[in-house]
Structure 1
């Protein structure tokens, strides 16, 4: 299975087992988005288009778009609108211009009401067209402002003069003929310059004549982000933060889960995994306080990263796993009469597994293959924050650690192993306890002591299991 598949499975498990918490986070995010929408009033945006006739390069169109939102145009629009307390500086952030295909510049305006947005866009277009026409008139110069009619008259006179010279000039054999032909060439050059000026004047006139493509339409909906978008965005953001927070917590926790990982953290040998029958309701942590009720309501009383409990139909098969662990302990005891069973405090599954393991070891006194009886298990509960393990007795072969997989960090397991070493115990093995769901057909059978584990105690006077 690829890492991507594992990641998707993990996200699916988070959503399935933390659905209530994620739902609450999404509701909180929706409320936050609604509060943000109250801080930002609704905005309405509309636009009007201006057509620029003639041939325009892309760079020139971009220049015209910059002119459309320049401070001069915005200030003139603000003065024409005359809105109280709204000047050019306030409008500068509410207008924009962009170029589109076909030499069209679209000017957009945003305001707090549809009517004002429409008025702003229309006024910006009018002021831009007027300002662009003024710039075009100044750039044309006095010769272009004289109009194309005067240039046409110049062209007519020049053509007439050329015709006269051509008629009076000879074949070029005399000096007078050469001079006439030279004059004719100069006049033709002047004619070409005149025609060029006429074309430039016409092009300037065409460019100065911009076309407004209708008034701006009155907007019918709010500009994004709308209130609905803010509410939906807040809910989605908090939901994703909840999922990412679970993933980050799982990665930062670094809790060993497999037999090999737990055994490596304790520096011991994995003796196996045993099942502890639980009811579906019993999987949830107890407690009657307000905090416990809130945890149950949000689904925090069940770990999301723990694998789903397996079901079992045969009590005999469940006992077989305990007996196999006891058989392995026979070989690790080295003829000693006792073993210390260390259970982390607060680990209910491990406590029940250790009690049943002690009962199985005490009830089955069959000798090992070497001829010696198996050791008696003494169960003690040890705190994990500051672990203190009872000192080793003369007839004890070491310590057996029983705990739930993924319930403790690697640092906590290392501290537990060091506490065993300080007390003179060698950690001979590790047994993992996992919850299993009992079906209605399968109910614990056998001796009453099999599901009635002895009470845990700490100290030399405590004796768990069968003595």
Structure 2
């Protein structure tokens, strides 16, 4: 899995074998989303539209939208709300403005109730219009309009007086007259430029001031994220994180699967691969207690990252595999009379395979063997964290039985080192694989699949028996 490409079949395998765990994590994520919705009260958003008459470029509309959310506008809106606990800085996160088609600036305000959201958006729109009008130089004061008309009349009268003075001066006969006419022309030019600027600043010019297009509509629904959205988002996020977590765990998995890798880690050769029919897992010492029951309930006690076991042949075919392993073992260690079969603790498949192998070796002599006999096999369990193998006695070596995809190279190297410490040479490795039970054995065939009782009463922790 660590080197394989993630495929849809991998996702499907996770969903089939971990659906209980995924369902529990999805519910937990939904509860977390619900808790977040309780901590954060619902929010409502209302929008008010402000029309900008005239011709406006896109960048000018964006500038007006930024002005609507500036501190100058928000501070005035906060003061108009009349709430001491609300400042312009707090409104910055609750007010937004955007420019839309048709020279319209949409001002949106968010609050905890529909009424407050409506009032906030209306106040911000009004303050924006007042501030935009002020900075543009526009006004609706009648006295200001009268003063501007009077100023225009005064400028026109002054312009006529300048023309009369220029005509009255002696045209070009003296230096003083030339200087006077030049000064008068400069004054005329300055007055004309002033009149142009005054016309451009006229509120009745090309661009009229912004106008609020009625009060904001009172919102009828919550602003996102709503409670339903938070619950669904929490559930979906938990589900995706659980699936990604499974994939990451499989990616970094360093357990050996290939037979050459297992043989290299143990420093020996693979004598063969045997099949173990699948059966309901027995509850050992680690299968009791609340934790074990919870793992069984969630389905995490069975690995998901292995393909479904293939369907095996009949019992006779499986026994042939064990006999061939015994034949290779006899060829590998022809002088051995007794061998120690080492099985890592917790490897149920390997333990059952070792039992079948010991039973086959202890059965009647097979004509396929070299001398018609196979070494006597004694099965011992070895704890993987701190492996200890019985000291060498009458055994002439050790045979290691493991299942593929169960142990890492470091763990198998530790088992091999424990065998060397006990004076046992690893003469071979047998890889066990679980298969679906095939057809029932033929009637009258001897029953050889029962595992014999382990010598030394199960796990061997001392010397040889």
For the aligned pair, the TM-score class normalised by the smaller chain equals: 0.7 to 0.9
The offset of 1:450, in angstroms, is 1.4
Return closer, same or farther for 1:122/1:205 CA change in 2, 3 Å cut-off: farther
242 and 408 in structure 1: CA distance in 2 versus 1, 3 angstrom threshold:
same
Partner of 1:110: 110
SS of 1:98 mapped into structure 2: strand
* Aligned ranges 1:240-251 → 2 under 5 Å: 240-251=240-251
CA contact (8 A) 2:73 2:124 kept: yes
CA contact (8 A) 1:311 1:436 kept: yes
Cα gap change, 1:186/1:241 in structure 2, threshold over 3 Å: closer, same or farther?
Answer: closer
SS in 2 for 1:311: coil
Give, in whole Å, the separation in 2 of the partners of 1:153 and 1:2: 90
Distance change in 2, residues 1:437/1:337 (3 Å): same
Distance 1:443 1:206, change over 3 A: farther
Alignment of 1:19-418 (within 5 A): 19-54=19-54, 60-83=60-83, 85-137=85-137, 149-150=149-150, 153=153, 189=189, 192-193=192-193, 195-202=195-202, 207=207, 209-279=209-279, 282-283=280-281, 287=287, 289-363=289-363, 365-366=365-366, 373-394=373-394, 396-418=395-417
Match of 1:465 in 2: none
CA–CA distance in structure 2, aligned partners of residues 104 and 328 of structure 1: 88
- Assess if the C-alpha contact under 8 Å between 1:391 and 1:460 holds in 2: yes
In structure 2, distance between residues paired with 1:339 and 1:235 = 55
Q: Partner of 1:450: helix, strand, or coil?
A: coil
Shift of 1:58: 5.6
Unmatched 5+ residue regions in structure 1?
A: 463-467
Whether the 8 Å CA contact 1:335–1:372 is kept in 2: the answer is no
Q: Distance in 2 between matches of 1:258 and 1:136?
A: 80
CA RMSD of aligned residues (A): 3.7
Distance 1:374 1:223, change over 3 A: same
Q: Aligned pair in 2 of structure 1 residues 192, 444: CA closer, same or farther (>3 Å)? A: farther
> Aligned residue for 1:433?
432
Total equivalences in the alignment:
453
| SS class of match (1:6) | coil
Q: Provide closer, same or farther for how the CA distance between residues 381 and 16 of structure 1 changes in structure 2, counting only shifts above 3 A.
A: same
Is contact 1:333-1:339 (8 Å) kept?
A: no
Work out whether residues 47 and 107 of structure 1, in 8 Å CA contact, stay in contact via their aligned partners in 2: yes
- 1:308–1:35 distance in 2 versus 1, CA, 3 Å: same
Q: Is the 8 A contact 2:339 2:399 kept in 1?
A: yes
Question: Secondary structure in 1 aligned to 2:346?
Answer: coil
User: Are residues 162 and 89 of structure 1, via their aligned partners in 2, closer, same or farther at CA, if it must alter by over 3 Å?
Assistant: closer
1:180: how far off?
12
Does the CA contact (< 8 Å) of 1:25 and 1:238 recur in 2? yes
> What SS class does the counterpart of residue 256 from structure 1 fall into?
coil
Q: 2:203, 2:209 within 8 Å by CA — same for their partners in 1?
A: no
Q: Which is richer in helix?
A: 1
Structure 1 position 343, deviation (Å): 0.9
Contact 2:48/2:214, CA 8 A, preserved across alignment: yes
C-alpha change, 1:102 and 1:234, in structure 2 (3 Å) is same
2: distance between equivalents of 1:163 and 1:461?
133
Asked whether the 8 Å contact 2:337–2:375 carries over to 1, the reply is: yes
Q: What are structure 2's unaligned runs of at least 5 residues?
A: none
* Residue 284 to residue 11, structure 1, CA distance change in 2 (3 Å): farther
Distance change (3 Å), C-alpha of 1:446 and 1:272: farther
Task: Name the CA distance, whole Å, in 2 between partners of 1:2 and 1:299.
Answer: 22
Q: Determine the C-alpha separation between the residues in 2 that align with 1:345 and 1:17.
A: 24
- What is the CA–CA distance in structure 2 between the aligned matches of 1:208 and 1:284, rounded to whole Å? 87
The range that moved more, 268-277 or 62-71, is 62-71
> Structure 1 residues 55 and 245 mapped into 2: Cα distance closer, same or farther (>3 Å)?
same
Question: 1:442: which partner in 2?
Answer: 440
- Superposed displacement of residue 377, structure 1: 2.0
Per the normalisation by structure 1, the TM-score is 0.83
Give a deviation string over 1:229-287, Cα, whole Å, max 9, x none.
Answer: 111111122222322333343344421122122222212212222111123xx157564
Distance 1:316 1:336, change over 3 A: same
Which of 449, 452, 455 is the equivalent residue of 2:453?
455
Query: How far does residue 163 in structure 1 lie from its aligned partner after superposition?
Result: 9.5
Q: Quote the Cα distance in structure 2 between the aligned partners of 1:361 and 1:44.
A: 79
Q: Over residues 416-449 of structure 1, what are the superposed CA-to-partner deviations in whole Å (9 max), with x where a residue is unaligned?
A: 010001111121222121111114x434777655
Give 1:61 deviation, angstroms: 4.4
The 1:423/1:446 distance shift into structure 2, 3 A limit, reads: farther
Using structure 2 for the length normalisation, give the TM-score.
Answer: 0.83
| Residues 162-182 of structure 1 deviation map (CA, whole Å, 9 limit, x = unaligned) | 99999999xx99999999997
